[in-house]
Structure 1
C-alpha cells in the first residue's frame, strides 16, 4: 500500500526546484508555497500510480526512482527518472487520456493539483513553455462555452426566432399599398395569403429591382412582382435547417409554418444576429464576391466553421450538411461568374455534384467530384467549346479555393463526364448490365448525384431510369457487394484494431476508406436494391430499413457507427487545423481515450458483421 505524507524536515522538493529549469527562476516565496501544498507519495515497484484515463487528474514530479508511462493498446512506453514530470500540463494533450503511469522501482513522487498549476502559469506565463497542455486545457472552457451557445442556437426550434406575427396581404393589393404597408410596419418583406394559403412573397428588393428600376405602374396588383415558388420551414425544425435552406438557395426571407398555418418569417438578419459565423452569413459573403480571389479569401472560414461545430459537439450529420451547403454556394457562385465571362449558355444544362458533396457529407478536407448533364439538343460543333471552357473555369475555380481536382479526373472538365442526358443514360445502362471492375468503381461515384445548378429535371428523370435498372437486379447487386468488400474495417483476427504499416501515414487508421466508406457502400447497395433515390447515407439507411432491405436494428447500428466515425474524423481535423496542420483522414490511436477505442472497435465490428451478411445474401448472384 502506498504511504502519503505532507511534511518533511528538509522538504524533498527543495533540491528539485534548484535543478529543474521550469522552477529555478520562480521566487523562493512561491516555491515554499508549492512545497506546502504538494502531496508526497512513496510507493513500491509495480504500483499503478495513475490508471488509463486518470493521467490528466494531477501533475507528478519524480523525486526518486523510475516511473513508466505506457499506452497499453499501442504498446508504447517511456521511462521517467528523477526530476522529470508527468500528468496534467507536462504530458502532451493527445496522450493524457490514453496513457497510464506505473512505478518501475520503489519511488517517491510529489503531486500538484491542476488548479494550482493553472494559477501558477497565469502568474508566471513563461512556465507555459514547460507545460504546453495547460495552455490547451485552460483555453477550453471559454471556447466550449461559446461553442455550446452556438450549438444551442442552431439546434433550437425555428419558432424561437419568430419575432412577430406575419405581415400579410391579399394578392390583388396594389404595389403602392404594399409599399406603404411595409413602411408602416418597418419590414423588408410581406407575404401574399389568400384563403389561408401562402401564395407568394414580396421583398423591398422586388420593389427596387422590378418596380422602380423598370418604372412599373404601382397600381398593378402586387402578385405581378411576387416570388411564387417559395421555400418554407416548419416551426419545430431546428434552426440549422433554416440556415441550410437559406444558404443553399441564397434566399434572405423564409416563411415559417406550423403544419399548414403560417406563423411568421425569419430573415438572414435574425439568423446572423444569433450566430455571426453561420453558414448563411458565409454563403451571403460568397455570393457578394465578384472575383476568384475574393472567393479564395473566404474558404479559410470553412475550417473555422467546422472547428466551431466540433467544439459545440454538433453531430456529424448536421455538420456534413452545413459544410456541404457552403461548397454548394461556392460552386453556384463560380458557375455564375463563368456565365458572366462566357455569356449565357447556349442550351439547358445541370451542374451535378457527385460523391460526398452529393451525399451532404463533406468536411473541410474534400476534393471535388462533379459532372455536367446537358440537354439532348447538345451538338458538339455548336456547343462543345462553350461548355468545355465553362466547366474548366468552374473546376479550376474550385481547385483554387481548396477543393483539389479529383485524382481520377471525375469532373465536368473531363470530356467523358460532360455529356447529354442520352449519353449518361447509355453509361448507366452499360455499367449495370456489364458490371466490370471499372464500371463498378464508377458506379460508386456516379450513383451518388445531386443537382446543384441548372435544369434539375435532367437528373431526376435519369435517376428514375437508373433505379428501374437496379431495383431487384441481383446479378448487378452481387457485383456491387463484391466490390464493396474491398473496403474492410481494420480489425485483426482477434478483434484488435490493425494500423497501417507503411505509406505516408504509418501506424494510423484511415477513417475515410477503412471506416466511413464501407458504411457508405453498404447504404448505397441497400438503396439501389430498394429503389431509394436519396443520396445521403443516413437517409438511405433509414429508407432502406422501411423498404425491408435491412433490419431496423442493423440500420440504427450503422447510422450510429457512421455518426461516431464521422465525429472522430471531424474532431481529428479540427485539432489539426488548430495546430496549423492541413486536415486529413489519418487518425493515430494516441488521440483516443480507452473508451473511444472500445467504441471504435464496436463500430468496426458492426460494419464487418453486416458486410458478411450482405456477402452471404448475394453470394449466389456472382456465379
Structure 2
C-alpha cells in the first residue's frame, strides 16, 4: 500500500480490461473438492495442483470456496480439527462472473468487495476461477490499490484521506481518454468500497445486525454512473423479521454511521434526505413493496420523483435476495401499467435538450449560469429518463443507462439503430461533462455542470447539436406513444 500522502496511483493500460473477456484469463480447469472432504485432504489437493484455492462443489453445483487465507484464519489460527469437512471453513456467500463478462467487471467486483478470487460460470456451470493476480498481470493497480487502501482503514478520518484521492484518479482517467461509461463504473466502485468498509466498521462498533439487511445504492451510484464527490442516495431494505421496538435503534445507528461517514468522505448528504439515515428509507421488505405499489398506482408528481430515484437501485452489501425479490416483483408489474408509464413519460419530458425551434443551441439566459448549458439536467438526465421508461415498459432488470438502452433494443422497446444513437449521445455528453469538470478542478475551482460554448470546438458544437436532436426526437416518439390525446 502506498502512503496516504502520495498522489493517486498512475494509470496505464488497465482500460484494455473493458474489452478483454473473462474467458481470456482462464488458464486451467478449476480444482474442485466435495463438501465432505476433510480439510487436510483439501489442503493437500491445493498443494498437489499448485493453487491457492479450491472450489467446493456437489453434483455440479457450486457450494463455496476455500483459500489459503481461510486455512490460515479459520483452521490453523483457531486450532480447528483438520479432519472436519472442508465445507465448514468455506466461504459460501459467493459472487461469480460469467465467462462472457468483461474482465473489467471482475476487477470492479474484487475492488468493491475486497475479495481476491471469483468463480467463473458458463450457463450456471462452474468452468474456472480467476484471481486478483490474474488481473494484476493485465493492468496496473490504480483502482485496485485505492480500493485495497479503503479496506485497510480503521476509522472515518483515515477513510476520508483515502477518499480524497478519488478525484485525482478521475482526472487521470479523463486525461487517459477513458470512456465515460468505464469511468462511471470505476468511481462508483470506489464509493461502493467506501460503503462496504463503513458498514464493516459500523458492525464492529455496534455488533452484528439482528436481522438480515440489504444496503442499496440509488441514483447515479445505483446506475454505476457516479462522478467524484457526488451527493449520496441510498436506502436499507430490511428482512420482514425486523421489529421496530427491538431492532430500530440498531439500524438507525448503523445507517447514521455510514451516511455520516460518506458525507465526511465527500459524498454530501442528499438534499432531499433520500438516505438510509432517514427512517422512511430504512424499512422492511413488506413496506418497500407498499411504497412501489402506491407509487405505481398513484403516480402523482412526488411518486414519480421517488420512482426515478429508487427504481435505479443496486445492491451493495448485506443480503442480496432482499433487493432482488423487490425488484423482480416491481419489474413484473410495470410493463402492463400504461397510465403509470404515461405519467413517467410526462415527467421525463420536463427535462428537454436546450435546442430552440430552429434547432440551434440555446444557453441559459438569466442568473449566475447565464450563457451556459446545463450538461446534467439539459443533456444527460433526459437520456437517463428515456432509458428508465424503456426499462419499466420492458420489465428490464438493468440499472445502468447504457445497459438499459442496449437491452431495450433487444426487447424491441426501441430500434437497435436508435438505441446506438442514444448510447453514442450519452457517451459524448458525459465525456464533455467530466472533461469540463476536470478543467475546473485543475484550475482550483469547484466542479459544476455548466458548460460555456466557447470551451468547445466547432466540431464539438455540431456533435452537441446532433446529440440533442437525437434525444429530442426520441422524446417526441414516446410522447406520441403514451401521451397522444392526453396533453
TM-score, reference length from structure 1: 0.71
Q: Could you tell me whether the CA contact under 8 Å between 2:120 and 2:128 is conserved in 1?
A: yes
2:218 aligned residue (354, 366, 371) = 354
After superposition, residues 499-538 of structure 1 pair within 5 angstroms as 499-538=363-402
1:311 match: 175
| Distance apart, 1:170 and its partner CA | 3.3
CA-CA distance at 1:232 after TM superposition: 3.9
Task: Give 1:326-337 correspondences, 5 Å limit.
Answer: 326-337=190-201
Residue equivalent to 1:570: 434
The residue that corresponds to 1:459 in the other structure is: 323
Q: Which SS does the other structure have where 2:164 is aligned? A: helix
Q: What corresponds to 2:31 in structure 1?
A: 168
| Equivalent residue in structure 1 for 2:268, among 404, 411, 434 | 404
1:596: which partner in 2?
A: 460
Q: In 2 relative to 1, CA 622–433 (structure 1 residues): closer, same or farther, beyond 3 Å? A: farther
Q: Secondary structure at the match of 2:82?
A: coil
Aligned to 1:124: none
Separation of aligned partners in 2, 1:374 and 1:258: 32
Give how far 1:399 is off: 0.6
Q: Does 1:431 align with 2:318?
A: no
> What is the deviation of 1:400?
0.5
Matching residue within 543, 561, 567 for 2:407 = 543
Matches within 5 A, 1:136-215: 149-152=13-16, 155-158=19-22, 161=25, 165=28, 168=31, 170-171=33-34, 173-180=37-44, 182-183=46-47, 187-192=51-56, 200-215=64-79
- 1:398/1:504 Cα in 2 relative to 1: closer, same or farther (>3 Å)? farther
Alpha-carbon distance in 2 for matches of 1:580, 1:156: 36
Partner of residue 57, structure 1:
none
Distance 2:18 2:409 in 1: 29
Aligned residue for 1:21? none
Question: Take 1:160 and 1:347, find their aligned partners in 2: how far apart are those partners?
Answer: 40
Offset at residue 260 of structure 1 (A): 8.1
Deviations 1:138-194 (A, max 9, x none): xxxxxxxx85634335544445655x5357253365433443454566643234567
* Pair 349,174 (structure 1): closer, same or farther in 2 beyond 3 Å: closer
Gaps of 5+ in 2: 1-9
Aligned 8 A contact 2:33 2:42 in 1:
no
- Choose from 441, 445, 450 the match for 2:309: 445
**Counterparts of 1:145-294 in structure 2 under 5 Å?**
149-152=13-16, 155-158=19-22, 161=25, 165=28, 168=31, 170-171=33-34, 173-180=37-44, 182-183=46-47, 187-192=51-56, 200-233=64-97, 237-256=101-120, 265-272=129-136, 274-294=138-158
Equivalent in the alignment of 1:391: 255
Return closer, same or farther for 1:468/1:597 CA change in 2, 3 Å cut-off: same
Q: Distance in 1 between matches of 2:421 and 2:371?
A: 27
Structure 1: tracts of 5 or more residues without a match: 1-145
Q: Which of 183, 199, 203 in structure 2 is aligned with 1:339?
A: 203
Deviation at 1:568, TM superposition (A): 1.5
DSSP-derived class of the 2:225 partner: coil
> What is the aligned partner in structure 2 of residue 54 from structure 1?
none
Larger Rg: 1
Shift of 1:426: 2.0
Q: Is the 8 A contact 1:286 1:330 kept in 2?
A: yes
Cα distance in structure 2, aligned partners of 1:353 and 1:520: 16
Most deviating of 371-380 and 527-536: 371-380
Q: Look up the SS of the partner of 1:464 in the other structure.
A: helix
8 A Cα contact 2:11 2:140, kept in partner = no
Q: Compared with structure 1, are the counterparts of its residues 201 and 418 closer, same or farther at alpha carbon in structure 2 (3 Å cutoff)?
A: closer
> Judging changes above 3 Å, is the alpha-carbon distance between structure 1 residues 334 and 590 closer, same or farther for their aligned structure 2 residues?
same
Q: Aligned partners of 1:382, 1:533: CA distance in 2, in Å?
A: 34
Distance 1:313 1:418, change over 3 A: same
Looking at structure 2, the residues matched to 571 and 326 of structure 1 have their Cα atoms a distance apart, in angstroms, of 20
- For 2:151 and 2:364, the matched residues in 1 are separated by 42
Residues 192 and 199, structure 1, Cα contact 8 Å, conserved in 2: yes
Aligned Cα RMSD in Å?
A: 2.7
User: Does structure 1 conserve the Cα–Cα contact (< 8 Å) formed by 2:217 and 2:313?
Assistant: yes
Quote the offset at 1:459 in angstroms: 2.1
Within 2, Cα distance between the matches of 1:201 and 1:366? Answer: 36
Output the CA distance in 1 between the equivalents of 2:440 and 2:168. Answer: 12
Aligned positions of 1:2-41 closer than 5 A: none
Deviation of the 1:464 alpha carbon: 2.9
Q: C-alpha separation between the residues in 2 aligned to 1:413 and 1:481?
A: 31
> What is the CA deviation profile of residues 557-597 of structure 1, one whole-angstrom value per residue up to 9, with x for unaligned ones?
11111111112222222333333333222222222221111
**Alignment deviations for residues 180-213 of structure 1 (CA, whole Å, 9 cap, x no partner):** 4545666432345678876643211110122112
Verify the 8 A CA contact 2:13 2:139 in the aligned structure 1: no
Do the aligned partners of 2:60 and 2:125 also contact (CA within 8 Å) in 1?
yes
Range moving further from structure 2, 176-185 or 553-562:
176-185
Matching of residue 482 in structure 1 with residue 382 in structure 2: no
- Equivalent pairs counted in the alignment come to 477
Indicate the SS of the match to 2:473. Answer: helix
* Residue pairs, 1:86-101, within 5 angstroms: none
Aligned to 2:232: 368
